[in-house]
Structure 1
Amino acid sequence: MKKCSTNYILPDSCTSLSNLFLQRVAQSPQQIAYTYFDITTQQWKATSWQEMFTLLCRWRAALQKEHLQTGDRVAVMLPNSILWVVFEQAALSLGLIVVPLYSNDRPKNIAYILGDTKAKILTCPGSAYFEHLAPELKEMTSLQRIITTDNCKIQAPHSMLVCLDEWLPQLTDMNLETFTPIKNETATIVYTSGTTGPPKGVMLSHSNILSNSYAGLLAMDIYPNDSFLSFLPLSHMLERTAGYYLPMMAGASVTFARSIPDLAEDLITTQPTVMVAVPRIFEKMYAAITMKVNTSSKAKMQLFTQAIDVGWRHFLYKQQRESWRISLLFQPILDRLVGQKVRNKLGGKLRIVITGGAALPKDISKFFIGLGLPIYQGYGLTETSPVVCVNRAEDNRPDGVGRPLTDIEVKIIDNDELLVRGPCVMQGYWNNHKATDEIIDSEGWLHTGDKAVIEDGHIRITGRIKEILVLSNGEKVAPNDIEMAISLNPLFEHSMVIGEGRPYLTLICVLNQFSWENLAEQLGVSSSPAALMFPQVRRAVQDKINFLLRSFPGFVFIKEVSLSLSPWTVEEGLLTPTLKMKRKAIERHMGKEIDLMYDNTS
């Protein structure tokens, strides 16, 4: 357990999340709270905690005019920004329940969540979003106000719609005593991704999030001079707890990245020390770096490979899991020639990179750790606020997800399922007692649905209980393991294994456009979609897949492949807003292609 910094605000001293915010304002009024890119001036702008408080008071006064009652639900569909923060803090201070939405989610899903929660207020980034949603909101009787952050450029007036500048008062009362403590009440309802059905609303209390933020803080060395880079949506509980409330508790600042496409440039410009990410980010970085290395000279390729290998050995030595070897003498110079150059492309100051939300392939972990990037893989669920466990600096095992956080209990039951109990476990599912009773037993254990093993206190996730394919011959296959192995090659943008009840395994995959063009050039064919059907192309892709799966059992063999260049998107309903595959939706979408893979072979 780490020592507590004198700048930390302890959860026991907080009556609520909004009280945590107020304590931070009182303790660090002139300290930088958030930095963002001002599109008007085209410059990065810093905001102090005192300025955040002033803005919060204006939002709070505006919300009070809406005649809302304690416990009413209000929805936020904004990009990561100070507006997201002040809306939530203003709402929480009034005893309202915040419902975060993904701005890239489909209108039908957004309408479902608004209807299920009977949300009374919706904030969105522009009137264009409202026009996109409007057809789905016709029967939404509970919604009484939609606030847009632009100038309300809408063709027809709408009684619910108001632009932010008109809605916010200029001056307001700033009396702290009007804020209400509500620690054990529901703070937020966060909807799960819905990969297997309609999303469920996870009810989390102020206490849930406070306890999880502090437990995460004890697992990591976070200081007031740390700077977090925030780019995962704040609708995602990993970002909300680890990238928003945790730094608030520690007194660290947060910089809001402009967007994922701008991430590479923002890393260099803002030079963060801490970053919270999901594996998909590292998979894309890995693909981009390896693609560049593979087109360089043989000598540079060898130098790069050697730097990673020696860097990895150096990591194991520092972790006391390998003895010293003579090759480690070359680590400083290899790091200077290779590792430092890569880290400089990521800002040059990252000292903690937390990844979660899905499994990070071990080879990708080894790749970045070998280059000196301090990646710590963790595990959690929305239902656990969300972090259950994480690797620590002094005991980092990239093939697992670390040890449980303080005050969290874990155990494995007969079917290898991981169970979790502790102050982070949700209050239940909104309007769904049946689902709540199915996931939380009478002793308070939450059944995660994930298979795991615990070795020396370290947790290693081995798969999903329900995501096991059973072939017609009885062989059982974990599709995630296969898909993760295939993702190591930058050629594959998306891939999904098919085989449930079938005689053999097949694969539907989307190729990366740039990697495909390189492969087409190597094979002497055009890079048009039609060329994906050429026998030599299919053989080349099949060979790459077989190589990636060479360490799997013999029955894990992909017999047929369906190739495409059309990425799967959230808008099509094939990915969740957190970019997880919706397997059933993809199977329906690719039904004809799947049938052909089984019809064309014997």
Structure 2
Amino acid sequence: MASTPSDIASVQTLPQLLAYRAARTPDKEAYRAFDSATQAWTSLSWSDTARRVDQWAQALAAMQLPPAARVAILLPNGLNAMCADQATLATGCVPVPLHAIDNPGSIAYILSDCEASMLIVGQAEQWAKVQAVGTPFPALRAVVIADDDAAVIAALPPTEGGPIVGSLAQWLAGAQHAATSAATPATYVPPAEDDLAAIVYTSGTTGKPKGVMLTHRNVVSDVKAVLERIAPTVDDVFLSFLPLSHTFERTGGYYLPIAAGSCVAYSRSVGQLGEDLKTVRPTVLVSVPRIYERIHAKLLEKLSPSPWKMQLYEAAQHKGWTQFCATQALATPAADEGRAAGWMAALPWPLLQMLVAKPLLAQFGGRVRVAVSGGAPLSPTIAKCFLGLGLPLIQGYGMTETAPVVSVNSLDDNDPACVGKALPGVEVRIGDNRELQVRGPIVMKGYWKRPEDTARILSADGWLGTGDQADIVGGRIYIKGRIKEIIVTSTGEKVPPGDLELALLADPLLEQAFVVGENRPFIACVAVLNAGEWQRLAADLGLSSQDADSLNHPSVHRAVLARIEKNTASFARYAVPRAVHCTLEPWTIENTFMTPTLKLKRNNLMAHFAQAIDGMYQKPGGR
């Protein structure tokens, strides 16, 4: 049974959406989570969920916060994060979701900037680190700590004149006691559709993050439109592992299942994702490309030591991809694309499916009927691999400022080279400098306390500049790259780095890649090598993988550049990197080279590798 936009036509706010679902399918499974105390998975029905959310809402209402008060939520995905968000919405307050793995300085900045009245946080240690930054929080009245007991909280340094700090258990119990002893329970005013449903801070690849103001109209409109395009049902099971501070997960992996009545199972952690996929066996996946890239890299790592296994994989992928293209009426792959498979290319598809495709799909649980990729561009190599082996993978496009989904492919109209057609009710056009522009009910209200920034991106007649260059052909949107990131070499050639970096990462040797060349004579690359692949390459070249100097030995540079050249054969010659600097240290959120949504912080990387980058341009010919 599938819900349709017409079923929820009267729903205007997110609290109304939850109320609709609890009334429509009260006994169906809503949420599934792993209980570390019992070491078992537990479930909540929709009626259970509504009751639990009401308990949280009563506790929040008893705080008597100002109207539209900001409630910051720093929790990992799970039932507490869901309840905190829903209770905040129900009481007319505004959730400010925070990245659980963000650094304390960034969290402190956001708490101050949004003037949060309350913070709900997982651990006392997290609050202590934020406090230690020294930023004043004059609006902050209370800090509720969800996962630590009163004794741990009592050991925190005192905050004279600061917020009241207590445990979640104390907070909920206190509200319950007050409710039973009071003549009337605490009341609250539910939100209207043009009230804020969230302030979501952008990752900030450069400078300070900006708070995107999304209304209930924005989010509910996006949910209804995605529901029409993807059509999940009450029998679907989503596996939630992207942070709820990411708008892609909020809309696609959290609010959409409420509209559809689907169950959401919370993964224990990204590290246990592989196990959880096999245990939960989801039917719908909402993920960023990085997850698919990791699975692809592990697949190649297992296969690469065995030439015949690699040939079998190449044969299965080529034959499956050819069939997919025929089904979708896409251009048929050239016959010589399957040459790497050798004689195995002649094997029948049912045999290849049994030997290669089914074992791969089993890694996803074996019953995924739709896997959505968004949040960043999906590499054509990754798309071809998974679609060729039978994973029903579709790509979408959006941004925080559009709540976030603008477009997405569908299973029966699925060209992985594009990001699909605009959602129903969403207008798109190409503006100056080939910029994709968007208009519709999904477009944000503006940036929090930043009217000048809002005016720069949002026109008076409602068109939002995405900052992405694109083409629109037959209604399908083809993203070409970020306008601000496009590299202009000293010879005047323009190179979008995103597509180039994706192509480089098709090689399992390269774990991460960052290309440079602004005002330089040619394109160069800084690359993080995969440790296992590096050991194999070093051995082949007669070098010690333990010797740091080996990483940038001339023979290593030649070998890496040869592999880069192979993976960039379809690029213009001027776009192919002519120099490389290799490192083994991964770029992470913790070392400030990645944003919480796993985008490269290019300015930080440029500064850190400045000497190495200069060195690449001082070598003859760049090599």
1:166 to 158, 167, 170: 170
Is 1:61 the counterpart of 2:71? The answer is no
What CA distance in whole angstroms lies between the structure 2 residues aligned with 1:474 and 1:116?
41
Shift of 1:47: 1.2
- Residue 73 of structure 1: aligned partner: 70
1:584 to 578, 586, 603: 603
1:193 aligned partner, one-letter code: S
2:255 to 245, 249, 266: 245
Conserved? CA contact 1:313–1:322, under 8 Å: no
Shift of 1:524: 2.7
- Residue 118 of structure 1: aligned partner: 115
What CA distance in whole angstroms lies between the structure 2 residues aligned with 1:574 and 1:592?
17
2:212 to 198, 202, 212: 202
User: CA deviation digits over 1:75-116, x for unaligned, max 9?
Assistant: 001011111111111111111011010011111111111111
Shift of 1:175: 8.6
User: CA deviation digits over 1:380-406, x for unaligned, max 9?
Assistant: 010000000000111100000001100
Any unmatched runs of 5+ in structure 2?
A: 336-344
2:18 to 18, 21, 29: 21
Shift of 1:541: 1.4
Is 1:313 the counterpart of 2:322? The answer is yes
- Residue 547 of structure 1: aligned partner: 566
The 5-angstrom pairing of residues 126-165 of structure 1 reads: 126-149=123-146, 150-152=148-150, 153-154=152-153, 155-158=155-158, 160-165=164-169
What CA distance in whole angstroms lies between the structure 1 residues aligned with 2:5 and 2:18?
12
2:269 aligned partner, one-letter code: S
After superposition, the CA RMSD in angstroms is 2.2
- Residue 470 of structure 1: aligned partner: 488
Shift of 1:257: 0.6
The 5-angstrom pairing of residues 494-513 of structure 1 reads: 494-513=512-531
User: CA deviation digits over 1:351-404, x for unaligned, max 9?
Assistant: 100001111011110100000000000000100000000001111000000011
What CA distance in whole angstroms lies between the structure 1 residues aligned with 2:104 and 2:389?
42
- Residue 439 of structure 1: aligned partner: 457
2:446 to 423, 428, 435: 428
What CA distance in whole angstroms lies between the structure 2 residues aligned with 1:494 and 1:325?
29
Is 1:386 the counterpart of 2:396? The answer is no
- Residue 339 of structure 2: aligned partner: none
The 5-angstrom pairing of residues 102-501 of structure 1 reads: 102-149=99-146, 150-152=148-150, 153-154=152-153, 155-158=155-158, 160-169=164-173, 170=176, 172=179, 180-296=190-306, 298-321=307-330, 330-501=348-519
- Residue 573 of structure 1: aligned partner: 592
Moved more, 553-562 or 582-591: 553-562
Q: Matched residue of 2:387: which SS?
A: helix
What CA distance in whole angstroms lies between the structure 1 residues aligned with 2:423 and 2:371?
17
Q: Matched residue of 1:449: which SS?
A: strand
Query: 1:7/1:428 Cα in 2 relative to 1: closer, same or farther (>3 Å)?
Result: closer
What CA distance in whole angstroms lies between the structure 1 residues aligned with 2:576 and 2:231?
44
Conserved? CA contact 2:238–2:253, under 8 Å: yes
Query: 1:225/1:539 Cα in 2 relative to 1: closer, same or farther (>3 Å)?
Result: same
1:423 aligned partner, one-letter code: P
- Residue 100 of structure 1: aligned partner: 97
What CA distance in whole angstroms lies between the structure 1 residues aligned with 2:346 and 2:477?
30
What CA distance in whole angstroms lies between the structure 1 residues aligned with 2:319 and 2:394?
19
Query: 1:211/1:533 Cα in 2 relative to 1: closer, same or farther (>3 Å)?
Result: same
User: CA deviation digits over 1:305-358, x for unaligned, max 9?
Assistant: 111111111112222346899999932332122111110111000010000111
Conserved? CA contact 2:5–2:227, under 8 Å: no
Shift of 1:538: 2.1
Moved more, 73-82 or 550-559: 550-559
Query: 1:128/1:9 Cα in 2 relative to 1: closer, same or farther (>3 Å)?
Result: farther
Is 1:530 the counterpart of 2:542? The answer is no
Shift of 1:5: 3.2
Query: 1:551/1:34 Cα in 2 relative to 1: closer, same or farther (>3 Å)?
Result: same
Conserved? CA contact 1:8–1:251, under 8 Å: no
Q: Matched residue of 2:617: which SS?
A: helix
Conserved? CA contact 1:9–1:23, under 8 Å: no
Conserved? CA contact 1:74–1:119, under 8 Å: yes
What CA distance in whole angstroms lies between the structure 1 residues aligned with 2:576 and 2:334?
38
2:522 aligned partner, one-letter code: Y
Q: Normalising by the residue count of structure 2, what TM-score does the alignment of the two structures yield?
A: 0.92
Shift of 1:559: 2.7
Any unmatched runs of 5+ in structure 1?
A: none
What CA distance in whole angstroms lies between the structure 2 residues aligned with 1:175 and 1:67?
12
What CA distance in whole angstroms lies between the structure 1 residues aligned with 2:10 and 2:294?
41
Conserved? CA contact 1:11–1:210, under 8 Å: no
What CA distance in whole angstroms lies between the structure 1 residues aligned with 2:5 and 2:185?
24
Shift of 1:574: 1.1
1:111 aligned partner, one-letter code: A
Q: Matched residue of 1:261: which SS?
A: helix
Conserved? CA contact 2:92–2:189, under 8 Å: no
What CA distance in whole angstroms lies between the structure 1 residues aligned with 2:332 and 2:450?
54
1:308 aligned partner, one-letter code: Q
What CA distance in whole angstroms lies between the structure 2 residues aligned with 1:137 and 1:213?
39
What CA distance in whole angstroms lies between the structure 2 residues aligned with 1:323 and 1:478?
27
Conserved? CA contact 1:10–1:214, under 8 Å: no
What CA distance in whole angstroms lies between the structure 2 residues aligned with 1:394 and 1:151?
51
Moved more, 372-381 or 257-266: 257-266
Q: Matched residue of 1:229: which SS?
A: strand
Query: 1:11/1:423 Cα in 2 relative to 1: closer, same or farther (>3 Å)?
Result: farther
Conserved? CA contact 1:8–1:250, under 8 Å: no
What CA distance in whole angstroms lies between the structure 2 residues aligned with 1:218 and 1:383?
21
Conserved? CA contact 2:3–2:260, under 8 Å: no
What CA distance in whole angstroms lies between the structure 2 residues aligned with 1:364 and 1:355?
11
1:168 aligned partner, one-letter code: L
What CA distance in whole angstroms lies between the structure 2 residues aligned with 1:281 and 1:357?
11
- Residue 42 of structure 1: aligned partner: 39
What CA distance in whole angstroms lies between the structure 2 residues aligned with 1:412 and 1:386?
19
Query: 1:137/1:207 Cα in 2 relative to 1: closer, same or farther (>3 Å)?
Result: farther
Equivalenced residues, count: 598
Query: 1:146/1:176 Cα in 2 relative to 1: closer, same or farther (>3 Å)?
Result: closer
User: CA deviation digits over 1:551-598, x for unaligned, max 9?
Assistant: 222222323211111111111221100110010111112222222223
Shift of 1:156: 3.4
Is 1:557 the counterpart of 2:557? The answer is no
